[in-house]
């Protein structure tokens, strides 16, 4: 068993402290709360904190707390772990059992930072993938489809523009005459006439009846 005169003070994450003095051991939680624990329990917790992030095998914890595993019963370590868990659960500190191997401690502050780091790494990776996707060069088939669509669109615009017929109408004395824009209209052809007419250079003057 460890020397009871061995005094130490070990931080538990960022908000709690383990202290062992000459008269015993205590865990100080946030808001001034404190809980007394046995000396072996203090050495178990100290060992777990020292090996934080790693699994500490059961034999190593027993030797740390009691020195000789032959002098204790088979339930001594599980009981000590249970007592520590009851206190540490109040501040979301977990002692995780790794079957057939041992135990490891998880601190909420460290766990939160690790999760945040993983989240940021995931966002960075997603952003890099998005940027990569935005800059992927077009394949030959995609370029051909784009050019084909452009040619069809251009042909449509040209067809509409050139096939659209514009009709002009004008009044000469008592007659109103309409003719296709660009066709040569001679006002003399309606001289002395009254009414509405359509004129083309090919068909001549046609009267439009209501």
Q: Are residues 99 and 187 in the same domain?
A: no
Which of 36, 29, 31, 12 lies closest to 20 in space, CA to CA? Answer: 36
In a domain, 76, yes or no: yes
Give the pLDDT score at 2.
54
Shared domain check, 99 and 16: yes
pTM: 0.53
Residues 6+ apart with CB under 8 A from 138: 146
Given a contact cutoff of 8 angstroms between Cβ atoms, the answer to whether 12 and 27 are in contact is yes
Nearest to 176 by CA among 199, 144, 153: 199
Are 22 and 99 found together in one domain?
Answer: yes
% of the chain with per-residue pLDDT over 70: 78
Does residue 1 lie in a domain region? Answer: no
Q: Is residue 137 part of a domain?
A: no
Last residue of a domain, one of 108, 128, 156: 108
In a domain, 116, yes or no: no
The gap between the terminal CA atoms of the chain, to the nearest Å, is 122
DSSP strand pairing (174-180 vs 167-172) = antiparallel
How far is 182 from 165, CA to CA, in rounded Å?
A: 10
Whether residue 19 is found in the same domain as residue 99 = yes
Residues 24 and 97 in one domain: yes
**d(Cα 39, Cα 51) in Å, to the nearest integer?**
19
* pLDDT tens profile 155-200: 666 555 555 567 788 888 888 888 887 777 788 887 888 888 878 8
pLDDT at res. 173: 84
Rounded mean pLDDT of 80-101? Answer: 95
What tokens were used for 111? 């766990």
Lowest mean pLDDT segment, chosen from 17-21, 38-42, 154-158? 154-158
17 Cα distance to chain centroid: 36
Residue 177 lies in a domain: yes
What span, in angstroms and rounded, lies between the C-alpha atoms of 157 and 146?
Answer: 17
Q: Looking at residue 99, which CATH number applies to its domain?
A: 1.10.10.10
Q: How large is the C-alpha radius of gyration of the chain?
A: 47
Range of the domain at 70: 8-108
| Torsion of the alpha carbons at 130, 131, 136 and 137, rounded to the nearest 10 | 150
Q: At 42, list the tokens.
A: 């203090």
Segment among 53-57, 104-108, 163-167, 186-190 with least mean pLDDT? 163-167
Boundary residue ending a domain (90, 108, 126) = 108
For the segment 66-90, the average pLDDT, to the nearest whole number, is 93
Contact 38, 14 (CB under 8 A): no
Lowest model confidence (mean pLDDT) among 6-15, 26-35, 68-77, 132-141: 132-141
Pairing of strands 34-37, 94-98: unpaired
In a domain, 17, yes or no: yes
Answer yes or no: is 129 within a domain: no
Residue 127 has pLDDT above 70, yes or no: no
Q: Is residue 135 part of a domain?
A: no
Domain total in the chain = 2
Q: Which of 73, 91, 108 lies at the terminal end of a domain, its last residue?
A: 108
pLDDT at 112 over 80: no
Residues 176, 86 share a domain = no
Q: What's the rounded mean pLDDT across residues 51-69? A: 92
Tell me the pLDDT of the chain averaged across its residues. 82
């Amino acid at each position: 068993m460890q020397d009871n005169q061995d005094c130490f003070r070990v931080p538990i994450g960022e908000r709690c402290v383990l202290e062992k003095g000459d008269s015993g051991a205590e865990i100080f939680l946030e808001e001034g709360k404190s809980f007394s624990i046995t000396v072996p329990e203090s050495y178990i917790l100290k060992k777990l904190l020292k090996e934080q992030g790693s699994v500490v095998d059961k034999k190593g914890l027993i030797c740390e707390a009691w020195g000789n595993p032959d002098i204790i019963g088979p339930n001594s370590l599980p009981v000590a772990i249970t007592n520590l868990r009851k206190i540490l659960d109040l501040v979301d500190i977990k002692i995780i059992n790794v079957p057939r191997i041992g135990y490891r401690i998880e601190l909420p502050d460290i766990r939160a930072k690790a999760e945040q780091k993983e989240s940021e790494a995931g966002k960075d990776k997603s952003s890099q993938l998005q940027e990569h996707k935005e800059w992927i060069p077009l394949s030959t088939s995609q370029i051909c489809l784009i050019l084909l669509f452009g040619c069809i669109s251009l042909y449509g615009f040209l067809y509409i523009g050139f096939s659209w017929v514009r009709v002009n109408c004008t009044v000469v004395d008592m007659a109103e005459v309409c003719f296709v824009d660009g066709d040569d209209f001679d006002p003399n052809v309606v001289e002395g006439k009254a009414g509405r007419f359509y004129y083309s250079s090919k068909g001549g003057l046609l009267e439009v009846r209501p």
